Copies of this chain bind each other. A is one copy, B any other.
C-alpha cells in the first residue's frame, strides 16, 4: 500500500508531502545508485550538503534529484558555530534557490551531537532572515520547544548519534518532545533498521530522516524499500490505536463454550 492510498499527507513549511521519509544522500557509490534509492524510498524531500554538490562534476546529482521530482533541503553539515551555520545557510539559499535549510550545528567531532546554545542562536538568526528552519537537535523536549517557539518549521531530534545505527536510545524523551511542540517532529539520526523507523512513527513523529541506514546498507535500494514500508507501517499503527501492555496474558479467543473432550 502506497502512502497516497493511506490518504495521510502532512505539511512541512506550507508544503504538503505524502511520503514521510526524508533522505540524506551521502555515501552512495554512483548517480545510478542514488536514483534507484530515491525512487525505491518514495521520498519527496532530500537533504544535500553545499560542498557535495560542488564536488560533483556538472551537478549530476542535481540532475538526478530534479528528474526524481524531489524537493531539496540543503543542510549545514559540518558547521560548528552559529556564525558558520548562518553563513553556510545563506550560501546554500543562493546556490539552491530555496529558503529551506536543515540546520546542523555540531558540538563534538566524535559524536556529531548538536550544540544546544549555538543551535538555538543560529535558529533565531535564520528565522529572522526568512529561512524555513529544520533544526537537527538532541532529544531534549525543552530545547525542542524553544526551537519551535523561535519559529522553526520543524524540530528534528536524534535517536542516537549520526551514523551510529543505535536506533532510538530514549523513546521516552522522543515521546515527551512530541508532546511538547506543535510543529512537525522529524526523527533524525541514529536509525539502523526498519523497526527503528517504525518505532519513530509510533512515538508520534511526523516523519523520519534516513541517511547512512540506507546509503551504507549492503543493499541500499532494498533498504530504501524496507524503510518506506516501515515508516508507513509505523504511521498506520500509531493511528490504529495499539492494544495496551499487560503484565499477564489475555486470551485472543474466548474460551466459554469450549467442547468437552
Q: Which of A12-20, A66-74, A160-168 sits within the interface?
A: A160-168
Whose C-beta in chain B lies nearest to the C-beta of A211?
B252
Q: A160-B172, A161-B249, A213-B243 are in contact. Are A225 and B194 (CB under 8 A)?
A: no
Chain B residues near A226 (CB-CB < 8 A): 233-237, 240
Nearest chain B CB to A221 CB, angstrom units: 8
Question: By the criterion CB–CB under 8 Å, are A217 and B243 in contact?
Answer: yes
* Best-surrounded residue of A111, A237, A258 (most CB of chain B within 10 A): A237
How many copies of the polypeptide does the oligomer hold? 4
Q: A25-B253, A230-B234 are in contact. List 20 more A-B contacts (CB 8 A).
A: A6-B225, A26-B253, A26-B254, A51-B255, A115-B146, A140-B140, A161-B246, A161-B248, A162-B249, A162-B250, A163-B252, A165-B244, A172-B247, A193-B237, A198-B230, A211-B252, A212-B250, A217-B241, A219-B240, A227-B233
Question: By the criterion CB–CB under 8 Å, are B253 and A49 in contact?
Answer: yes
Residue A98 lies at the interface, judged by CB distance under 8 Å to chain B: no
Checking B77, B258, B261 against A253 with a beta-carbon cut-off of 8 angstroms, the contacting residue is B77
Chain B residues near A216 (CB-CB < 8 A): 243, 252
* Best-surrounded residue of A88, A143, A213, A243 (most CB of chain B within 10 A): A243
Residue A173 lies at the interface, judged by CB distance under 8 Å to chain B: yes
User: What is the CA–CA distance of A234 and B218 in the complex, to the nearest angstrom?
Assistant: 15
A residues sitting closer than 8 Å to B (CB atoms) are: 1-2, 6, 24-27, 49-52, 54-55, 77-78, 84, 87-88, 91, 107-108, 110-117, 120, 138, 140-143, 145-146, 160-166, 169-170, 172-173, 176, 180, 192-199, 201-202, 211-213, 215-220, 222-223, 225-230, 232-237, 239-255, 257-259, 261
Chain B residues near A113 (CB-CB < 8 A): 140-142, 176, 249
* Best-surrounded residue of A25, A116, A146, A193 (most CB of chain B within 10 A): A193
